[in-house]
Amino acid sequence: MGVYIVELKFKSFIHKTSHKDDETTELPNSNTILGMLGNSLNKIKPDEETYEFINSIRLSSLFPKIKNEYLIPKPFKLPEKIEAEKFKKIKKAPYIFLSNLENWLKNAKIPDEFKSIKTILPGVAIDRIENSTALYLVSALSIKDAFYFLIELPEEQKHNLEIALRISEDEGLGGYRKTRGFGAFDFEIKETKNTLFEKYLYSDKYNYILNLGMYIPTKEEIYKITDKSYYKIKEYRSFDTRSGDLKPTVKYFEEGSLFDFEIKGKNVKTTINNSIISGTPIYLKVNWSDINV
Protein backbone atom coordinates (compact mmCIF):
# COMPACT_ATOMS: atom_id res chain seq x y z
CA MET A 1 0.00 0.00 0.00
CA GLY A 2 1.15 3.53 -0.75
CA VAL A 3 -0.20 7.00 0.02
CA TYR A 4 -0.04 9.70 -2.64
CA ILE A 5 -0.83 13.41 -2.86
CA VAL A 6 -3.04 14.32 -5.82
CA GLU A 7 -2.81 18.05 -6.51
CA LEU A 8 -5.57 19.73 -8.54
CA LYS A 9 -5.54 23.10 -10.26
CA PHE A 10 -9.07 24.00 -11.31
CA LYS A 11 -9.64 25.60 -14.70
CA SER A 12 -13.26 26.61 -14.05
CA PHE A 13 -15.80 27.10 -11.28
CA ILE A 14 -16.54 24.46 -8.62
CA HIS A 15 -20.07 23.64 -7.53
CA LYS A 16 -20.82 21.64 -4.37
CA THR A 17 -24.44 21.55 -3.26
CA SER A 18 -25.75 20.39 0.11
CA HIS A 19 -29.11 19.30 -1.39
CA LYS A 20 -30.92 21.43 1.18
CA ASP A 21 -30.50 24.48 -1.00
CA ASP A 22 -28.23 25.58 -3.80
CA GLU A 23 -25.57 27.15 -1.61
CA THR A 24 -21.97 26.16 -2.22
CA THR A 25 -20.71 26.07 1.36
CA GLU A 26 -17.88 23.55 1.28
CA LEU A 27 -15.36 21.79 -0.91
CA PRO A 28 -15.97 18.32 -2.36
CA ASN A 29 -15.56 15.61 0.27
CA SER A 30 -13.93 12.19 0.04
CA ASN A 31 -17.12 10.51 -1.18
CA THR A 32 -17.53 13.02 -4.02
CA ILE A 33 -13.94 12.31 -5.04
CA LEU A 34 -14.58 8.56 -4.87
CA GLY A 35 -17.62 8.96 -7.11
CA MET A 36 -15.60 10.94 -9.65
CA LEU A 37 -12.82 8.34 -9.77
CA GLY A 38 -15.18 5.35 -9.85
CA ASN A 39 -17.48 6.73 -12.55
CA SER A 40 -14.53 7.73 -14.73
CA LEU A 41 -12.79 4.37 -14.40
CA ASN A 42 -16.04 2.52 -15.10
CA LYS A 43 -16.21 4.13 -18.55
CA ILE A 44 -13.43 1.84 -19.78
CA LYS A 45 -13.21 -0.86 -17.09
CA PRO A 46 -15.89 -3.48 -16.23
CA ASP A 47 -17.90 -3.24 -13.00
CA GLU A 48 -15.86 -5.95 -11.27
CA GLU A 49 -12.55 -4.11 -11.76
CA THR A 50 -14.13 -0.78 -10.83
CA TYR A 51 -15.54 -2.14 -7.54
CA GLU A 52 -12.17 -3.73 -6.77
CA PHE A 53 -10.53 -0.32 -7.20
CA ILE A 54 -13.17 1.49 -5.12
CA ASN A 55 -12.99 -0.97 -2.25
CA SER A 56 -9.19 -0.95 -2.14
CA ILE A 57 -8.66 2.80 -1.67
CA ARG A 58 -8.94 5.27 1.19
CA LEU A 59 -9.35 8.99 0.54
CA SER A 60 -9.21 12.36 2.20
CA SER A 61 -11.54 15.19 1.28
CA LEU A 62 -10.34 18.08 -0.87
CA PHE A 63 -8.26 20.71 0.95
CA PRO A 64 -6.48 23.92 -0.12
CA LYS A 65 -2.79 24.31 -0.80
CA ILE A 66 -1.40 27.83 -0.43
CA LYS A 67 1.94 28.24 -2.22
CA ASN A 68 4.01 25.32 -0.88
CA GLU A 69 1.94 24.77 2.27
CA TYR A 70 -0.69 22.07 2.59
CA LEU A 71 -3.72 22.91 4.70
CA ILE A 72 -5.59 20.38 6.82
CA PRO A 73 -8.90 20.69 8.70
CA LYS A 74 -8.60 22.43 12.05
CA PRO A 75 -8.99 19.85 14.86
CA PHE A 76 -12.20 20.26 16.85
CA LYS A 77 -10.27 20.25 20.12
CA LEU A 78 -8.51 23.54 20.78
CA PRO A 79 -5.94 24.17 23.53
CA GLU A 80 -7.42 25.64 26.69
CA LYS A 81 -4.49 27.90 27.53
CA ILE A 82 -4.42 30.42 24.73
CA GLU A 83 -4.43 34.19 24.40
CA ALA A 84 -7.82 35.74 23.64
CA GLU A 85 -6.69 37.44 20.42
CA LYS A 86 -5.18 34.23 19.08
CA PHE A 87 -8.25 32.25 20.11
CA LYS A 88 -10.58 34.45 18.04
CA LYS A 89 -8.44 34.04 14.95
CA ILE A 90 -8.03 30.30 15.40
CA LYS A 91 -11.72 29.72 16.11
CA LYS A 92 -12.73 31.31 12.78
CA ALA A 93 -10.13 29.47 10.71
CA PRO A 94 -11.47 26.32 8.97
CA TYR A 95 -7.93 25.07 8.30
CA ILE A 96 -4.45 25.06 9.77
CA PHE A 97 -1.14 24.47 8.02
CA LEU A 98 0.16 20.92 8.12
CA SER A 99 3.39 22.30 9.58
CA ASN A 100 1.38 23.65 12.53
CA LEU A 101 1.02 20.13 13.86
CA GLU A 102 4.65 20.37 14.92
CA ASN A 103 4.69 23.88 16.29
CA TRP A 104 1.29 25.23 15.60
CA LEU A 105 0.43 27.88 18.17
CA LYS A 106 3.88 29.01 19.22
CA ASN A 107 4.21 30.72 15.85
CA ALA A 108 0.50 31.60 15.63
CA LYS A 109 0.77 30.88 11.91
CA ILE A 110 -2.93 30.55 11.15
CA PRO A 111 -3.94 30.78 7.48
CA ASP A 112 -6.45 33.36 6.38
CA GLU A 113 -9.49 32.20 4.44
CA PHE A 114 -8.25 30.66 1.22
CA LYS A 115 -8.94 32.78 -1.83
CA SER A 116 -12.39 31.75 -2.94
CA ILE A 117 -14.95 34.02 -4.52
CA LYS A 118 -18.57 32.99 -4.34
CA THR A 119 -20.35 33.71 -7.60
CA ILE A 120 -24.05 33.55 -8.48
CA LEU A 121 -24.61 32.60 -12.11
CA PRO A 122 -27.96 32.86 -13.95
CA GLY A 123 -29.50 30.04 -15.94
CA VAL A 124 -32.67 29.51 -17.96
CA ALA A 125 -34.85 26.40 -17.72
CA ILE A 126 -36.97 25.68 -20.81
CA ASP A 127 -40.29 23.84 -20.57
CA ARG A 128 -40.58 22.17 -23.97
CA ILE A 129 -44.22 21.21 -23.41
CA GLU A 130 -45.54 24.60 -22.31
CA ASN A 131 -42.93 26.43 -24.39
CA SER A 132 -42.10 28.63 -21.39
CA THR A 133 -38.91 29.64 -19.65
CA ALA A 134 -37.92 30.18 -16.03
CA LEU A 135 -34.86 31.92 -14.62
CA TYR A 136 -32.81 30.13 -11.94
CA LEU A 137 -29.55 30.88 -10.12
CA VAL A 138 -26.55 28.62 -9.55
CA SER A 139 -23.93 29.24 -6.87
CA ALA A 140 -20.29 28.46 -7.61
CA LEU A 141 -16.82 29.02 -6.24
CA SER A 142 -14.12 30.73 -8.27
CA ILE A 143 -10.81 29.65 -6.78
CA LYS A 144 -7.24 30.58 -7.71
CA ASP A 145 -5.36 28.42 -5.19
CA ALA A 146 -4.33 24.83 -5.78
CA PHE A 147 -6.01 21.95 -3.98
CA TYR A 148 -5.14 18.40 -3.07
CA PHE A 149 -6.42 15.16 -1.67
CA LEU A 150 -4.65 12.12 -0.24
CA ILE A 151 -5.25 8.60 -1.51
CA GLU A 152 -4.05 5.28 -0.13
CA LEU A 153 -4.12 2.36 -2.56
CA PRO A 154 -2.25 -0.82 -3.50
CA GLU A 155 0.60 -0.24 -5.91
CA GLU A 156 -1.11 -2.39 -8.55
CA GLN A 157 -4.05 0.06 -8.53
CA LYS A 158 -1.95 3.17 -9.22
CA HIS A 159 -2.38 2.73 -12.97
CA ASN A 160 -6.17 2.74 -12.54
CA LEU A 161 -5.88 5.95 -10.50
CA GLU A 162 -4.02 7.62 -13.36
CA ILE A 163 -6.63 6.41 -15.86
CA ALA A 164 -9.48 7.73 -13.71
CA LEU A 165 -7.81 11.12 -13.28
CA ARG A 166 -7.09 11.45 -17.01
CA ILE A 167 -10.77 10.97 -17.77
CA SER A 168 -11.91 13.12 -14.84
CA GLU A 169 -9.73 16.15 -15.57
CA ASP A 170 -11.92 17.14 -18.53
CA GLU A 171 -15.24 15.89 -17.14
CA GLY A 172 -14.69 17.68 -13.84
CA LEU A 173 -15.35 17.31 -10.12
CA GLY A 174 -18.59 18.34 -8.42
CA GLY A 175 -21.92 19.53 -9.80
CA TYR A 176 -22.93 21.05 -13.16
CA ARG A 177 -20.03 19.35 -14.94
CA LYS A 178 -21.93 18.39 -18.09
CA THR A 179 -24.27 21.36 -18.39
CA ARG A 180 -21.84 24.15 -17.47
CA GLY A 181 -18.37 22.61 -17.64
CA PHE A 182 -17.69 23.17 -13.94
CA GLY A 183 -14.89 21.39 -12.08
CA ALA A 184 -12.36 20.81 -14.91
CA PHE A 185 -8.79 20.61 -13.62
CA ASP A 186 -5.16 19.77 -14.23
CA PHE A 187 -3.59 17.24 -11.86
CA GLU A 188 -0.25 16.00 -10.58
CA ILE A 189 0.40 12.89 -8.48
CA LYS A 190 3.15 13.20 -5.86
CA GLU A 191 4.61 10.80 -3.32
CA THR A 192 4.27 11.45 0.43
CA LYS A 193 7.78 10.12 1.01
CA ASN A 194 10.07 12.70 2.67
CA THR A 195 7.14 15.03 3.37
CA LEU A 196 5.45 15.96 6.66
CA PHE A 197 2.55 13.75 5.62
CA GLU A 198 4.83 10.72 5.89
CA LYS A 199 5.58 11.58 9.50
CA TYR A 200 1.94 11.79 10.55
CA LEU A 201 0.70 8.88 8.45
CA TYR A 202 3.09 6.41 10.04
CA SER A 203 3.94 7.90 13.45
CA ASP A 204 4.16 5.55 16.44
CA LYS A 205 4.05 8.44 18.94
CA TYR A 206 0.58 9.96 18.98
CA ASN A 207 -2.41 10.51 21.25
CA TYR A 208 -5.10 11.30 18.67
CA ILE A 209 -6.26 10.26 15.23
CA LEU A 210 -7.16 13.28 13.08
CA ASN A 211 -9.86 12.39 10.54
CA LEU A 212 -9.40 13.79 7.02
CA GLY A 213 -12.52 12.49 5.23
CA MET A 214 -16.06 11.14 5.59
CA TYR A 215 -15.90 8.62 8.45
CA ILE A 216 -18.77 6.15 8.85
CA PRO A 217 -17.90 3.94 11.85
CA THR A 218 -18.54 0.22 12.12
CA LYS A 219 -20.75 -1.05 14.97
CA GLU A 220 -17.64 -2.06 16.91
CA GLU A 221 -16.10 1.40 16.50
CA ILE A 222 -19.22 3.17 17.78
CA TYR A 223 -18.67 1.61 21.21
CA LYS A 224 -15.09 2.90 21.26
CA ILE A 225 -16.17 6.54 21.00
CA THR A 226 -16.03 8.19 24.43
CA ASP A 227 -15.83 11.68 25.91
CA LYS A 228 -12.13 11.63 25.01
CA SER A 229 -13.10 12.07 21.37
CA TYR A 230 -13.90 15.44 19.78
CA TYR A 231 -16.14 15.39 16.74
CA LYS A 232 -19.06 16.71 14.74
CA ILE A 233 -21.68 14.54 13.05
CA LYS A 234 -23.19 15.54 9.75
CA GLU A 235 -25.75 14.18 7.27
CA TYR A 236 -24.88 13.55 3.64
CA ARG A 237 -26.91 12.79 0.52
CA SER A 238 -25.72 12.43 -3.04
CA PHE A 239 -27.06 11.51 -6.47
CA ASP A 240 -26.24 8.39 -8.41
CA THR A 241 -24.61 9.64 -11.61
CA ARG A 242 -25.92 6.88 -13.86
CA SER A 243 -29.60 6.90 -12.82
CA GLY A 244 -29.94 10.40 -11.38
CA ASP A 245 -31.65 8.93 -8.30
CA LEU A 246 -30.96 10.27 -4.83
CA LYS A 247 -29.03 7.91 -2.58
CA PRO A 248 -30.13 7.34 1.04
CA THR A 249 -29.02 9.75 3.75
CA VAL A 250 -26.00 8.69 5.80
CA LYS A 251 -24.52 10.20 8.95
CA TYR A 252 -20.78 10.58 9.24
CA PHE A 253 -18.07 12.17 11.37
CA GLU A 254 -16.65 15.34 9.86
CA GLU A 255 -13.11 16.14 8.83
CA GLY A 256 -11.22 17.53 11.84
CA SER A 257 -12.74 15.03 14.29
CA LEU A 258 -10.29 13.59 16.82
CA PHE A 259 -10.41 10.03 18.17
CA ASP A 260 -8.25 8.17 20.69
CA PHE A 261 -8.29 4.95 18.65
CA GLU A 262 -7.34 4.07 15.07
CA ILE A 263 -10.39 4.43 12.88
CA LYS A 264 -11.27 2.07 10.06
CA GLY A 265 -14.82 2.91 8.95
CA LYS A 266 -16.98 1.18 6.40
CA ASN A 267 -18.37 1.66 2.90
CA VAL A 268 -22.15 1.60 2.48
CA LYS A 269 -23.49 -0.23 -0.57
CA THR A 270 -26.86 1.15 -1.68
CA THR A 271 -29.67 -0.46 -3.67
CA ILE A 272 -29.33 2.22 -6.37
CA ASN A 273 -27.14 0.59 -9.05
CA ASN A 274 -25.13 -0.99 -6.19
CA SER A 275 -23.43 2.39 -5.78
CA ILE A 276 -20.97 2.88 -2.92
CA ILE A 277 -20.94 5.59 -0.24
CA SER A 278 -17.41 5.82 1.11
CA GLY A 279 -16.85 5.98 4.86
CA THR A 280 -13.23 4.76 5.14
CA PRO A 281 -11.10 7.92 5.27
CA ILE A 282 -7.41 8.58 5.51
CA TYR A 283 -6.28 9.94 8.87
CA LEU A 284 -3.18 11.40 10.51
CA LYS A 285 -1.57 10.23 13.77
CA VAL A 286 -0.99 13.38 15.80
CA ASN A 287 0.35 14.29 19.21
CA TRP A 288 -2.31 16.86 19.97
CA SER A 289 -2.51 18.32 23.47
CA ASP A 290 -2.85 21.60 25.34
CA ILE A 291 0.03 24.00 24.80
CA ASN A 292 0.71 26.98 27.04
CA VAL A 293 1.20 29.92 24.70
217-256 pLDDT per residue, tens: 999 999 999 998 999 999 988 777 666 677 788 899 999 9
Cβ contacts of 101 within 8 Å, gap of 6 or more: 72, 196, 200, 284, 286, 288
Select, from the ranges 6-20, 74-88, 101-115, the one with the highest average predicted confidence (pLDDT): 74-88
- Rounded mean pLDDT of 33-40? 90
| pLDDT 10s digits, 14-31 | 655 544 444 434 688 999
Count other C-beta atoms under 10 Å from residue 155's C-beta: 8
Select, from the ranges 74-83, 139-148, 184-193, the one with the highest average predicted confidence (pLDDT): 184-193
More confident residue, 263 or 25: 263
Q: Are 174 and 253 in contact (CB under 8 A)?
A: no
| Pairing between β-strand 95-97 and β-strand 116-127 as defined by DSSP bridges | unpaired
Q: Regarding the domain delimited by 2-205, which CATH topology (the fold level of the hierarchy) does it fall under?
A: Alpha-Beta Plaits (3.30.70)
| pLDDT 10s digits, 49-100 | 999 999 999 999 999 888 888 999 988 987 666 666 767 777 777 888 898 8
Tell me the helix, strand and coil percentages in the chain, rounded to 5.
25, 30, 45
Q: Is the pLDDT of residue 107 over 50?
A: yes
